[in-house]
Amino acid sequence: QSALTQPPSASGSPGQSVTISCTGTSSDVGAYNYVSWYQQHPGKAPKLMIYEVSERPSGVPDRFSGSKSGNTASLTVSGLQAEDEADYYCCSYAGSKKVVFGGGTKLTVL
Amino acid sequence: EVQLVESGGGLVQLGGSLRLFCAASGFTFSSYEMNWVRQAPGKGLEWVSYISGSGSNIDYADSVKGRFTISRDNAKNSLYLQMNSLRAEDTAVYYCVRDMGRGWALDIWGQGTMVTVSS
């Protein structure tokens, strides 16, 4: 159960777009369209932002979008806002009732 | 309001035991698969354990298998995590998390309970 690989940091100015990658293997990200993304502000519990690669739960702004190609999934935040500054974690189903998380990416809004 | 509230965390000695509790409200608890996810101080998220709605299917991360036991009482809308033979690396905030039933996504998180394993 190796963690998915995310860049430790990403940044962008207000109004810009930023994309965070999440690389797994053919046993997790590449095998299932079950990638989800979570936003976590300091001292808070994570919040589901994207599920099933590109679906948004009710209440999540459409500025957040997800995609996948092969073993790599991506989260794009468009029209960056100050409140988007947070840690972001990807997660994939890995078979046998298990899920695996990425190491997390700290998004800074400049 | 859909809510998960954890309790039971605290300071425990190396090799000791602790039982975590999670009280669910605002939804039909027995209809949902549940998980425990932990986060060591300053670190990322780590999935710990899964249990099906009926409790008949269970799984664990390799790091806790044989030491932790997940269970649930649907009559009491409660989820549990029995942690034995605790190690320093088990120090973390433990979150009780609901599986939304779509794509293994985790849609409702508790506020977390801190477990500190001390030598």
DSSP per position, A14-27: TT--EEEEEE--TT
Give the three-state DSSP class for B25.
strand
Q: What is the pLDDT of residue B103?
A: 87
Q: What is the pLDDT of residue A1?
A: 64
What contacts 24+ positions apart, CB below 8 Å, involve A104-107? A104/A6, A104/A8, A104/A40, A104/B44, A104/B45, A105/A6, A105/A7, A105/A8, A105/A9, A105/A10, A105/A20, A106/A8, A106/A9, A106/A10, A107/A9, A107/A10, A107/A11, A107/A12, A107/A18, A107/A20, A107/A77
Report angle CA A9, B90, B72 to the nearest 5 degrees.
Answer: 105
Q: What is the pLDDT of residue B95?
A: 98
Q: Search chain B and give the residue with CA nearest A93.
A: B104
Interface of B with A (CB under 8 A): 35, 37, 44-47, 50, 57-59, 61-62, 95, 100, 102-107, 109-112
Q: How far apart are CA B119 and CA B98, in angstroms?
A: 33
Q: What is the pLDDT of residue B119?
A: 84
Q: How far apart are CA A49 and CA A37, in angstroms?
A: 5
Q: What is the pLDDT of residue A2?
A: 79
Report the half-sphere exposure of B28 (CA within 13 A, side-chain side).
5
Give the three-state DSSP class for B52.
coil
All residue ranges of chain B with pLDDT < 50 are: none
Mean pLDDT per segment of 10 residues, for chain A of length 110 residues?
A: 91 97 96 97 97 97 97 98 98 92 97
Mutation choice for A interface testing from B35, B49, B99, B104 by most A CBs within 10 A:
B104
Q: What is the pLDDT of residue A11?
A: 96
Give the three-state DSSP class for B26.
coil
Q: Which of B37, B50, B103 sits opposite A52 (nearest CB)?
A: B103
Q: Do B62 and A1 lie within an 8 Å CB cutoff? A: yes
Q: How far apart are CA B49 and CA A57, in angstroms?
A: 24
Would you report the helix, strand and coil content of chain A in percent, each value rounded to 5?
5, 50, 50
Task: Kindly report the nearest CA distance between residue B16 and chain A, in angstroms.
Answer: 26
Give the three-state DSSP class for B95.
strand
